[in-house]
Amino acid sequence: MAAMASLARRRAGDVFRPEAVRRAAVFCRGFAAAADENDVVVIGGGPGGYVAAIKAAQLGLKTTCIEKRGTLGGTCLNVGCIPSKIERCLDSAPQLQPFSCGLLMALLHSSHMYHEAKHAFPSHGVKFSQLEIDLPAMMAQKDKAVSGLTRGIEGLFKKNKVTYVKGFGKFVSPSEVSVDTLEGGNTVVKGKNIIIATGSDVKSLPGVIIDEKKIVSSTGALALPEVPKKLVVIGAGYIGLEMGSVWGRLGSEVTVVEFAPDIVPSMDGEVRKQFQRMLEKQKMKFMLKTKVVGVDTSGDGVKLTLEPAAGGEQSILEADVVLVSAGRVPYTAGLGLETIGVQTDKAGRIEVDKHFMTNVSGVYAIGDAIPGPMLAHKAEEDGVACVEFIAGKEGHVDYDMVPGVVYTHPEVASVGKTEEQVKALGVSYRVGKFPFMANSRAKAIDDADGLVKILAEKETDKILGVHIMAPNAGELIHEAVLALHYGASSEDIARTCHAHPTMSEAVKEAAMATYDKPIHI
């Protein structure tokens, strides 16, 4: 632990080196010349974009942020993580497509409250004579939460003196962005440095046309007028499982169709199996190694024609609503990248160097528009690092240490390597596990499904990966993120005092199980 503290002090010292300060100050003064030109222009006001804009302004750079939607926060806040979790976050928002982590978070929370009231409250001595869903009220709560958060970002823009332009921007040159404003006019915004933070869009499937009524994207799934009796989710990734959880809790019969042999393929295999069993316990059905080859919407509902991924006999699956959640793709349509010659890879992602600069000098890209995890918090880190480079400072994002969270119940959170990845690397390792069934806090609140799993290098005990399935796994994971950043050992965590009774004690016990033996099992 002393070594970690020493390393932290050294890193802090590096940030405040006199030469670094002088270099940044000179760079910033050089930016202040032209009154009609911005130092930084950000296209996209999602998590990556608005954070980049605020950070740039804080560093003394004249900054403008362009956002088509007219509300800041992007996909994550307006129609994704936050809305569903009042019921996960993606990235800097596309200028047009409005899936929001905000809406999803709202609905995840609201639907969980209903599910708890119906299934868990009686065992705690809390009984109702009548319990019902008021879907309009639930949606109103979602909208209220999101509205307050988006207004909060506008307040931060004013506080930090970021100019906010509402409209759709496209490049006319590497230093000029033409904006068709929401008021119907047009203006040209000039910038010495332009950051593309336009996020991602829903990945389409051949022959499956999204109408946002019977066949919906994640956006449409957050605004259904009634609880569908039968919901089919195409895609067993983060968003599909979260959306399925929302409507399953509210009474839908949910079937998940997945082409791959496993759900959430990036998840640790052992944890994945336990996670799937928990979802099946919640009556979610899975059809793995299955592909959709036909869609019929001529009747009242939807009829999907399915067949095994490897080919074989076809079958029909009927649903009232079908959610297409087969992943996301970078959103760059209409930006005029071809006009200025910005290069993209085969997946449509903008190619950047270690400073987030594209092949065009002065043009940068962050978030979902570039390679790396499509997560809101990754986009935020990209944004901060990018403007630090622009300001002559040092920025850094380690994509191997970006935590991922599935916001179902229980949640699943992870950081670092899975056991499969460690095996593939040929590294000798140890594994420590601790179930929440042996955690006093989890048992006391009758919510003890899940475990903590820690992987550490055998010779050095350095932590390689941490995986948690628990009601609040998304909060517990950050102790592990910090430990990985500072190269901690499992013994470092095990010898750190954890308050009792807390869920976090399971992390300590798993660490004890990794390098020695746990106490409470």
* Binding-site residues for NAD(+): 235-242, 258, 327
The two structure tokens encoding residue 189: 């915004």
Residue among 73, 84, 17, 25 at smallest CA distance from 45: 73
- 8 A C-beta contact, residue 477 and residue 413: yes
79 exposure class (CB count in 10 Å sphere: 0-12, 13-18, 19+): buried
Cα dist from 157 to 34, 90, 453, 512, whole Å: 21, 21, 41, 46
Per the listing, tokens 């001529």 go with 298
The single residue of 355, 396, 500, 520 carrying the catalytic annotation is 500
The two structure tokens encoding residue 423: 């095996």
112 as an active site residue: the answer is: no
The two structure tokens encoding residue 445: 């609140």
Which residues are CB-neighbours of 290 under 8 A, at least 6 positions away?
A: 257, 258, 259, 306, 307, 308, 309
Residues annotated within the binding site for FAD are 85, 169, 198-200, 368, 374-377
The two structure tokens encoding residue 27: 């760079």
- Identify the sign of the CA torsion 487, 491, 494, 496: negative
Composition of the chain by helix, strand, coil, percent to 5: 40, 25, 40
The two structure tokens encoding residue 338: 């071809």
Q: Measured in Å, how far apart are the chain's first and last C-alpha atoms? A: 26
Task: Look up residue 17 and give its amino acid.
Answer: R
Largest CA distance in the chain: 71
Report the alpha-carbon distance of residue 394 to residue 24 in Å, rounded.
Answer: 10
- Identify the sign of the CA torsion 135, 138, 143, 146: negative
Residue among 91, 49, 68, 70 at smallest CA distance from 387: 49
The single-letter DSSP state of residue 448 is -
- Kindly list the catalytic residues: 500
